[in-house]
Amino acid sequence: MKFKVFVQNALHARALVLLAALAMTCWSSFAQAPPAAGAAPKEQIEGFKEHLLPGGKWYQHDSDRPQPPIVTPGAAFSQAAPPPSDAEVLFDGKDLAKWQNDRGQAANWKVLDGYMEVTRGGDIRTRGKWSDFQLHVEWAAPTQTAGLHGQSRGNSGILINNMYEVQVLDSYNDKTYADGQAGAIYGQMPPLVNASKPPGEWQTYDIIWESPRWNDNHELVQKACVTVLHNGVVIQHKAEFIGSTDGIGGGVPWRGTSKYTPHSPEVFVQLQNHNTNPVRFRNIWLRDLHLAERQ
Ligand code: MG
């Protein structure tokens, strides 16, 4: 009898040990479960190390690429700047007559009190096209930031020809991979500095754009080139695109290797609807630089 009780107790104890081990294993695998690809808690920087960029130093969307120094911009630079006499006003706060969706239909973003706001239904683009231009655009990131971090926070973009993105993002007191923050040539070149204003405040981009050119043999002879002032601070200076931005309309998938695809130098300006982040835009005007006609 005593022996039988001993055996029963021993089996019982062994079962408990096995159960405890199983529980530990489950808890451990749960606790160490990797986060979703690219996602990171607020204190960490999301990122990837898949494709080395030209120069061989940094990967596309590299979390280790240094964060640009923070510069506090002046209180105002070109906020609410009246357009010069030779500018084409693309948005004066009243209507979206100069804009369309990617199917050529009227743009459906909300127009409210002098600004437009990203609305469900896709990006919007200008009806006009230009080769080389000076673009003034003002934007404000959403003030609702709770639980939002990195690429999820006020993401939009200035997408030239739906192929080349100057990133719009709330990069004020929030980090993401350096080549994806506000003013970055997305996936390619971080801004020289981070001149962001807080969410809800109007910020300016003054962008000087030169279209890429191909010769008659379809050989690239001039890369797309951009200079950007963010809130009056130079953040890109004659920066050349490696090729089309990954993850937008230029035929390069997100996290894919950028490359050029020949196209006309005449390009449209597109504003990005990124998961309907309610980014606002106002006072958009453009000056055609007529560089090709210069004597
Ligand atoms: Mg974007």
* Share above pLDDT 90 across residues of the chain, in percent, rounded to a whole number: 83
pTM of the model: 0.85
CA of 156 to the centre of ligand 1 (A): 4
pLDDT at 140: 98
Determine the average pLDDT of the residues in 220-240. 98
Distance from the alpha carbon of residue 274 to the mean position of ligand 1, in angstroms: 6
For residue 1, pLDDT beyond 90: no
Q: How far away, in angstroms, is 205 Cα from ligand 1 center?
A: 14
Q: Rounding to the nearest 10 degrees, give the CA dihedral for residues 114, 120, 122, 128.
A: -20
Residue 81 CA to ligand 1 centre (angstroms): 24
Q: Is 55 left (phi over 0), alpha (psi -120 to 50) or beta?
A: left
**12 has pLDDT over 70:** no
Give residue 277 CA to ligand 1 midpoint distance, Å.
10
Distance (Å) from CA 259 to ligand 1 centroid: 18
3-state SS assignment for residue 31 = helix
Please determine, for residue 116, whether its predicted confidence score (pLDDT) is greater than 80.
Answer: yes
Q: In angstroms, what is the span from residue 25 Cα to ligand 1's centroid?
A: 40
Strand 99-100 and strand 269-271: the pairing is unpaired
Please report the pLDDT score of residue 39 as a whole number: 56
Is it the case that residue 19 has pLDDT exceeding 60?
A: no
CA–centroid distance, 294 to ligand 1, in Å, is: 33
Q: What is the mean pLDDT of residues 182-208?
A: 98
pLDDT tens per residue, range 165-174: 999 999 999 9
Name residue 16's amino acid.
L
| pLDDT for residue 13 is more than 60 | no
* 201 C-alpha to ligand 1 centroid (Å): 18
User: Quick one: pLDDT at residue 16?
Assistant: 41
pLDDT value at residue 44: 84
Beta strands 115-117 and 156-160 are unpaired
From ligand 1's centre to the CA of 216, what distance in Å? 33
Interacting residues of 211 by C-beta distance below 8 A, sequence separation 6+: 131, 132, 224, 265, 266, 267
What is the 12 CA–ligand 1 centroid distance (Å)?
Answer: 59
Ligand 1 centre to CA of 278 (Å) is 12
CA–centroid distance, 157 to ligand 1, in Å, is 4
* Cα–Cα distance, 134 to 227 (Å, whole number): 9
**Separation of CA 87 and ligand 1 centre (Å):** 26
Does residue 27 carry a pLDDT above 50?
A: no
Residue 290: is its pLDDT beyond 70? yes
Say whether pLDDT at 189 is over 90: yes
| Amino acid 294: pLDDT | 84
